[in-house]
Structure 1
Amino acid sequence: MMNNLNYINGEWTGKNLQQSPVYNPSTGEVVSEVPKGGKQEAVQAVAAASDAFEGWADQTAYDRSKLLRKFFDLMIEHEDELAEIMTKEMGKPFKEAKGEVHYAANYLEWYAEEGKRIYGETIPTHVPNKRLQVWKKPIGVVAAITPWNFPAAMLTRKMGPALAAGCTVVIKPSSETPLTAIKLVELAEKAGFPKGVINIVTGSSREIGEVFLTDERVRKVTFTGSTEVGKKLMEQGASTVKKLSLELGGHAPIIIYNDADIEKAVNGTIASKFRNAGQTCVCGNRIYVQSDIYDEFVDAFADRTKQLQVGDGMKEGTDIGPLINEAGVEKVDEHVKNAVSNGGVVVAGGHRIGEKGNFYSPTVVKDVNPSMLIMNEETFGPVAPIQKFETEEEVIQLANDTPYGLAAYVFTESVSRGTKTIEKLDFGIVGWNDGAPSAVQAPFGGMKESGLGREGGHQGIDDFLEMQYVSIGI
């Protein structure tokens, strides 16, 4: 199908290394194998990116834009192939995978233009014989560590602004879904990026990550993953005062007030909760419904949930694919059983499906309470716990009672109530009557332990730039 190798300094390498299998979570079968790289390969990739940096940074924003645009065009041209690779290694339904390919490609298109808008600044001087300016420069070599749940979008969301800013890139994809990233690098090579500008290394997260965080030539590390790992990266990066962008865990609340449009709230909650089988950092994990409409919402939501079709992502009509691995299934099942043992009532799903593959039924649990695991830990699966609330003050306290602050959702037809609620929510992203707020042109990121920095929008390129103040005597 393709190389399935490391790409370092314009060469496909790694045939001589031990190979790691990549599994299809729907069947458990081996899809392919990739090299099990480590410290040596990471150092080689960093060296290549470092050597290529000056030449790439010296190119004009227009030259870099043309290559990013070619990369975008190739992604669209190969959308079916990319989607099939993603579905087979990650499990998400093919139609959803195609949606991710387009979403991912749009980051390249966006930053192909945004790179032309890196503006400096002239500051009014305090003395006649000086001119004060602010220049912006690419930060240097960027190491990008990407997760398994969005293997295309999480990569282009980092590559796009980095390359547009004039940085070179070294990529470490998830060991569970490296094939999509490798295919993207293959397309980047075809687009004509110079040797060393883009590199990818598969293999040991510990060894490769240690090189990224301790090598002084790497000026920035951008990571999407768990808060636990993000904290470790912060510790390791301290030795070289590494600049970090961290998009970490979430535990998103969905607040549904009694004046909400029920159909709109059900549709939005379905979109948020069950996208990618609930394996997203921004999916709704805690659903709070005001008592006046609690029963009506639960019944309507459970009915819609029961209609969702679970199966292999390559089969027509599949709405929800498998979880990524057995551990994911076990965690989901543990959360459901804990909720039931503490008074929760399953009104849809609540069980594993089949003996083959990592499938779990779309599940709704009502009458949950804050003591349950599911209301305190990120489930990362297709389970929707619903809790009743009475007042605005109560639900805002419940929503904010978490160390995470990535995404939140509010359903109300009242502008006054929606505005006041959102102003008090400690979350970086809020969907108001919208279960899918992510957009290429908007900043994505969290507060509190959900991370540092923003990706997307015009703000997303800032973290790949250094600001240099220049005082000129004349």
Structure 2
Amino acid sequence: MSDHSSLHLLIGGEKLSGGSRDTQDVIDPATAEVLGSLPHATTDDLDTALANADRGFHAWRKESADKRAAALNKAAQLIRERAKDIGMLLTREQGKPIKEAIGEVIYCAMLFEFYAGEAKRTYGRSLVRPEGQSARVIYVPVGPVAGFAAWNFPAINVARKIGGAIAAGCSVIVKPSEETPAAGLALVQCLLDGGVPGDVCQVVFGVPDEVSRHLLGSPIIRKVTFTGSSAVGKHLVKLAADDLKVTTMELGGHAPVMVFKDSDVEKVLDTMVGAKYRNAGQVCVSPTRFLIEEDIFPAFRDGFVERAKAIKVGNGTEDGTQMGPMANERGPQGLAKKIADAKDKGGKLETGGDRIGNQGFFFEPTVLSEVPTNAEIMNEEPFGPVAIVNPMANADAMIEEANRLPYGLAAYAWTNDPKLRGRLAADVEAGMLAINGANVSAPDAPFGGVKWSGFGREDGAEGVMHCMVPKTIHES
């Protein structure tokens, strides 16, 4: 298994490092110490990967669904066997508590297992035609895929880029984040060890804009899939448009949480506070804007603050840690500016708001309340351990605020009113809505957003179908 002392590229099944390649340091966010040195792909490396992907696609698409499924199932078995080791790599490079990291790795195994079954379920359909004629729809793999993964979930984000594509019969070149490379490398190694050919799944690293421009500039790549910010997603879509490549974009969010007065406040708090500070708030679907009906606002705010203060922050490798550091230096710096702006605009700092210590990138679990909509943090995703708790007059005002932003990835709501739940399902602008719970993700459910939060879907049957294109066959 790869570790931080032996980081490498994976091109054509070969581990490449050293030579004249540029490198960058990989940093432990809990200590700010260097974990290892990561090689960047050269132009020749990228061209070799592209040629491999082209060759690998033409062979892999002809393999039976049974063989693709067997490789994914074997990879899932290996991931489960190696989960603790991969989880430790993930925690050391990204910071989240080891329990969360292992859970993330296991989710990857579950996703591959689902995709293994889905590889056999890409059914077409027959169309009704007069006697002597026939027409049918079949689905064929879109072609070689370029996948770009974010640092906040180093394993899941990579799994989502490669699993559906491999199940569909595509080849993939994936670029995990250079800040969190080892977990993604270990995941891909499980696929190769499970029987996926080395030219079907490859890993490259480098300066993100240079790598994306090179891969997207090649006619070999037929689909681009990306997890990251809306700004970068828009940039990649523009690059992909030059060659009319298919795109899947899982972009930023700013998830509202609507809590109505008929809710059990204690139950909501017990569920949503943990969800808020999971992965130090560095989650695309993290609940951020808590919109609380006025009658229960004081009790909700006070209960949230009490629970936030009790969270144990520490090194993710240590027992009992509930929240680790932020993943990089940018995190605490950006949060401090947003919190200061919120206070300047009239928001109230209820707890937290400061960096912890002078080692690593730790930040206090923070609660702001009564923050006006002109504050930066109400309009730009904080992507950190900050909750905004605001009173709202009624359902109309809550839905209006939930839909105010151009983002629409996840949303949450708590109410026991069946009619209101139906209205929320229809009117809230989000790709995923959790009612009376905090979970918006499952291997068999599509994952993705609307508006500036992107388009296309990962996970679920859609995660495979979005790596395929329909072809209609007419016969007379």
Normalising by the smaller structure, the TM-score range is: over 0.9
Deviation per residue, 1:128-181 (Å, 9 max, x gap): 331101111111101111000001011112211110111111011111111111
Secondary structure at the aligned position of 2:295 is classed as: helix
Matched, 1:261 2:237: no
What CA distance in whole angstroms lies between the structure 2 residues aligned with 1:268 and 1:335? 26
Query: Residue 120 of structure 1 aligns to which amino acid in structure 2?
Result: G
Secondary structure at the aligned position of 1:435 is classed as: coil
Secondary structure at the aligned position of 2:126 is classed as: strand
TM-score normalised over the length of structure 2: 0.97
Matched, 1:445 2:448: yes
Secondary structure at the aligned position of 2:466 is classed as: helix
Give 1:294 shift: 0.3
**Greater alpha carbon shift after TM alignment, 39-48 vs 423-432:** 39-48
Match of 1:29 among 30, 33, 46: 33
* Contact 1:134-1:467 at 8 Å conserved across structures: yes
Matched, 1:201 2:198: no
Deviation per residue, 1:342-397 (Å, 9 max, x gap): 22222221211001110100011112121211111100000001111111111111
Matched, 1:236 2:239: yes
Matched, 1:413 2:416: yes
* Contact 1:21-1:32 at 8 Å conserved across structures: yes
What CA distance in whole angstroms lies between the structure 2 residues aligned with 1:271 and 1:436? 12
What CA distance in whole angstroms lies between the structure 2 residues aligned with 1:470 and 1:346? 63
2:124 corresponds in structure 1 to 120
Matched, 1:390 2:393: yes
Alignment of 1:263-302 (within 5 A): 263-302=266-305
1:330 corresponds in structure 2 to 333
Secondary structure at the aligned position of 1:240 is classed as: coil
RMSD of the alignment, in Å? 1.1
Unaligned regions of 5+ residues in structure 2, if any? none
Match of 2:156 among 153, 157, 160: 153
Alignment of 1:55-454 (within 5 A): 55-125=59-129, 127-454=130-457
Give 1:189 shift: 2.1
Matched, 1:45 2:49: yes
* Contact 1:261-1:413 at 8 Å conserved across structures: no
What CA distance in whole angstroms lies between the structure 2 residues aligned with 1:436 and 1:352? 29
Query: Residue 70 of structure 1 aligns to which amino acid in structure 2?
Result: K
What CA distance in whole angstroms lies between the structure 2 residues aligned with 1:192 and 1:293? 55
Deviation per residue, 1:227-281 (Å, 9 max, x gap): 0001111111111101000000101111111111112211232133111100011
* Contact 2:7-2:17 at 8 Å conserved across structures: no
What CA distance in whole angstroms lies between the structure 2 residues aligned with 1:224 and 1:332? 21
What CA distance in whole angstroms lies between the structure 2 residues aligned with 1:181 and 1:40? 22
What CA distance in whole angstroms lies between the structure 2 residues aligned with 1:192 and 1:118? 21
What CA distance in whole angstroms lies between the structure 1 residues aligned with 2:43 and 2:390? 48
**Greater alpha carbon shift after TM alignment, 272-281 vs 417-426:** 417-426
What CA distance in whole angstroms lies between the structure 2 residues aligned with 1:157 and 1:289? 34
* Contact 2:148-2:161 at 8 Å conserved across structures: no
* Contact 2:91-2:317 at 8 Å conserved across structures: yes
Deviation per residue, 1:113-134 (Å, 9 max, x gap): 1110010110001x33311011
* Contact 2:338-2:377 at 8 Å conserved across structures: yes
Query: Residue 8 of structure 1 aligns to which amino acid in structure 2?
Result: I
What CA distance in whole angstroms lies between the structure 2 residues aligned with 1:271 and 1:110? 27
* Contact 1:38-1:207 at 8 Å conserved across structures: no
Secondary structure at the aligned position of 1:384 is classed as: strand
Secondary structure at the aligned position of 1:249 is classed as: coil
Query: Residue 48 of structure 2 aligns to which amino acid in structure 1?
Result: Q
**Greater alpha carbon shift after TM alignment, 336-345 vs 103-112:** 336-345
What CA distance in whole angstroms lies between the structure 2 residues aligned with 1:212 and 1:117? 30
What CA distance in whole angstroms lies between the structure 2 residues aligned with 1:250 and 1:391? 23
* Contact 1:37-1:202 at 8 Å conserved across structures: yes
Give 1:190 shift: 1.6
Secondary structure at the aligned position of 1:54 is classed as: helix
**Greater alpha carbon shift after TM alignment, 179-188 vs 378-387:** 179-188
Give 1:401 shift: 0.4
What CA distance in whole angstroms lies between the structure 1 residues aligned with 2:391 and 2:220? 52
What CA distance in whole angstroms lies between the structure 1 residues aligned with 2:198 and 2:103? 30
Query: Residue 55 of structure 1 aligns to which amino acid in structure 2?
Result: A
Sequence identity, in percent? 38
Secondary structure at the aligned position of 2:106 is classed as: helix
Secondary structure at the aligned position of 2:7 is classed as: coil
Match of 2:465 among 453, 462, 467: 462
What CA distance in whole angstroms lies between the structure 2 residues aligned with 1:440 and 1:413? 27
Secondary structure at the aligned position of 2:188 is classed as: helix
What CA distance in whole angstroms lies between the structure 2 residues aligned with 1:97 and 1:409? 24
**Greater alpha carbon shift after TM alignment, 80-89 vs 271-280:** 271-280
Give 1:466 shift: 1.4
**Greater alpha carbon shift after TM alignment, 2-11 vs 295-304:** 2-11
* Contact 2:13-2:198 at 8 Å conserved across structures: yes
Deviation per residue, 1:23-55 (Å, 9 max, x gap): 001101111111111433222111101111121
Secondary structure at the aligned position of 2:465 is classed as: helix
Query: Residue 113 of structure 2 aligns to which amino acid in structure 1?
Result: E
* Contact 2:74-2:194 at 8 Å conserved across structures: yes
Deviation per residue, 1:199-220 (Å, 9 max, x gap): 1111121121012212111110
Q: Which 4+ residue blocks in structure 1 deviate beyond 3 angstroms?
A: none
Query: Residue 30 of structure 1 aligns to which amino acid in structure 2?
Result: V
